[in-house]
Amino acid sequence: MAHALTLNAGSSSLKFGLFDLSAAEPKVIANGKADRIGGAATLTLKNPDGVRLVDASPIPAEGVVDHHEALTAALRALTDHFPKARIVTVGHRIVHGGLDYTGPTLLDEKSVEKLAELEPFAPLHQPHNLAAVRAAMTAFPQAAQVGCFDTAFHRNHPFVNDVFALPRAYYDKGVRRYGFHGLSYDYIAGELARIAPQLHAGRVVVAHLGNGASMCGMKAGRSMASSMGFSALDGLPMGTRCGQVDPGVLLYLMQQEGLSADEITRLLYTESGLLGLSGLSNDMRILQSSDSEEAQQAIDYFTFRARRELGGLAAALEGLDGVVFCGGIGENSSLIRDGICAGLSWIGIEIDAAANAANASVISTDTAQVTVMVIPTDEEIVIARACAALTS
């Protein structure tokens, strides 16, 4: 029996899945997550029934756990519990595919080198993604390595959502609005086609709200506009990333505060967002349970900017039929969903408080013009499907 291993190295987590490829649709056998990478990370491994085979086990490390140690722990747990698994392909979530990688691709040393050139475009993700590819090439030398790109879903969006108003030469060099979280949006578009085809055919804003956060405006399941642009910094504030800032702030930081490019990179990617504003944590669960005024202000800013972005994307779509929440915050925090939707009745959004509190799949009222849904996203199955397609 042939299996696929999927690896999804996020900024603070490593999600992984083991899939049986013997049927047309890959079947998940186990999935796991190394959580809170960069701190006291833990590993969890579950079977598809949710039974925990490894339950929040601390990952051993000298100091804070990095992505490499998380991957080693994940592979050890899979080998312990599934010694007979025959991994023929490893699928990777890769955040940046640039202009050339517009769909799932078989990876070799050469393509990994080419993708490494995009590391400055996504310094918080691309190096971790490619480290996982290299580690998997060593651990599974016979397996096909498949790259699935977060930018690919957006590559056909209209020119006005692809360009910055900079001298044209920069556009030609690849300074464009790429958009990210494409695997998640691809999955949600597929789920909408399956469970709500009318909505899929219409105008939908999908809000992927996790440690990284973005929104995508879709028409008929295709990306028209995204809150993220050239890098995964733009748009919504995130766990540690700033979201939209006036470029003049960056000039001020360089010219008046004397910050170097490296210092600004660190500031924007790892010290800003919810963490920077609250001074407490990048973790929404911690902020929600805190009494501090700064934590509340960070939550207020997050919901306010998300509401603004949603309104802007509705305008880009020339109307709105549906909203979908996904990602760790979008799927679990009724407070944040309510905070974003409050005040959007003028656009046709009305939330059913009981359905929202229950994380129900439809959380809008029966009479609302806009259907609001919560759909747990599944980037791993999108990767596993690509593995099956490219290795069959």
Which residues are known catalytic residues? 150
Tokens representing residue 285 in the block:
């669960």
Is residue 329 at the binding interface for ligand ADP, with CB under 6 A as the rule?
A: yes
Shortest distance, position 50 Cβ to ligand ADP, whole Å: 16
Span of 10-18, 151-159, 225-233, 259-267 interacting with ligand ADP by CB under 6 A: 10-18
Q: Report the residue number, 27 or 36, with the smaller CB distance to ligand ADP.
A: 36
Nearer to ligand ADP, 209 or 218 (CB): 209
Q: Name the segment binding ligand ADP (CB under 6 A); options: 6-14, 64-72, 128-136, 151-159.
A: 6-14
Question: Rule CB under 6 A: is residue 148 a binding residue for ligand ADP?
Answer: no
Query: Would you count residue 285 as binding ligand ADP (CB under 6 A)?
Result: yes
Residue 25 CB coordination number (10 Å) = 10
Q: How far is the CB of 166 from ligand ADP (least distance, A)?
A: 29
Give the interface segment with ligand ADP, choosing from 58-66, 216-224, 324-332, 348-356 (CB under 6 A). 324-332
CB of 195 to ligand ADP, least distance (A): 21
Among the candidate windows 50-58, 99-107, 209-217, 340-348, which touches ligand ADP by CB under 6 A? 209-217
Binding-site member from 322, 327, 370, 387 for ligand ADP (CB under 6 A): 327
- SS (HEC) of 87-146: EEEEEEEECCCCCCCCCCEECCHHHHHHHHCCHHHCCCCHHHHHHHHHHHHHHCCCCEEE
Question: Rounded to whole angstroms, what are the CA distances from 49 to 17, 30, 45, 53, 86?
Answer: 14, 9, 11, 11, 22
Tell me which residue of 61, 13, 33 sits closest to 283, measured CA to CA.
13
**In this chain, which of 4, 6, 11, 364 binds ligand ADP, going by CB under 6 A?**
11
- Show contacts with ligand ADP in window 40-59 (CB under 6 A): none
- Nearest approach in angstroms of CB 78 to ligand ADP is 20
Q: Does 10 bind ligand ADP (CB under 6 A)?
A: yes
For ligand ADP, the binding residue among 6, 12, 31, 270 (CB under 6 A) is: 12
Residue with Cβ nearer ligand ADP (244 or 288)? 288
| Contact status: 333 vs ligand ADP (CB under 6 A) | yes
Nearer to ligand ADP, 91 or 202 (CB): 91
Question: Residue 117 is which amino acid?
Answer: E
18 neighbors 80 (Cβ within 8 angstroms): no
Using CB under 6 A as the binding rule, whether residue 151 contacts ligand ADP is answered as no
Classify residue 27 as exposed, middle or buried by CB count within 10 Å of its CB (0-12, 13-18, 19+). Answer: middle
Contacts of 31 (CB under 8 A, 6+ apart): 15, 16, 17, 18, 45, 46, 48, 380
> Shortest Cβ contact with ligand ADP: which residue?
328
CB 377 within 8 A of CB 208: yes
Rounded distance, CA 204 to CA 104, Å? 24
Decide if residue 332 touches ligand ADP (CB under 6 A). yes
Among 212, 235, 237, 273, binds ligand ADP (CB under 6 A): 212
CA 360 to chain centroid, in Å, comes to 21
Min CB(283)–ligand ADP separation in Å: 4
Give helix 379-391 / helix 182-195 axis angle, nearest 10°. Answer: 90
**Options 283, 309, 321, 380; binder of ligand ADP; rule CB under 6 A:** 283
Give yes or no for residue 276 binding ligand ADP (CB under 6 A): no
- Dist CA 357 CA 351 (whole Å): 10
288 binds ligand ADP (CB under 6 A): yes
Q: How far is the CB of 267 from ligand ADP (least distance, A)?
A: 20
Q: Which amino acid is at 287?
A: L
Query: Which residues lie closer than 8 Å to 165 by C-beta, 6 or more apart?
Result: none
> How big is the CA angle at 262 (ends 260 and 263), to the nearest 5 degrees?
65
Rounded-to-integer distance, Cα 244 and Cα 263, Å = 18
Between CA 213 and CA 220, with CA 215 as vertex, the angle to 5 degrees is 145
In the block, residue with structure tokens 């692809």: 162
Q: Which of 123, 202, 221, 328 is in the footprint of ligand ADP by CB under 6 A?
A: 328
Interface contacts to ligand ADP, rule CB under 6 A: 10-13, 210-212, 239, 283-285, 288, 327-329, 332-333
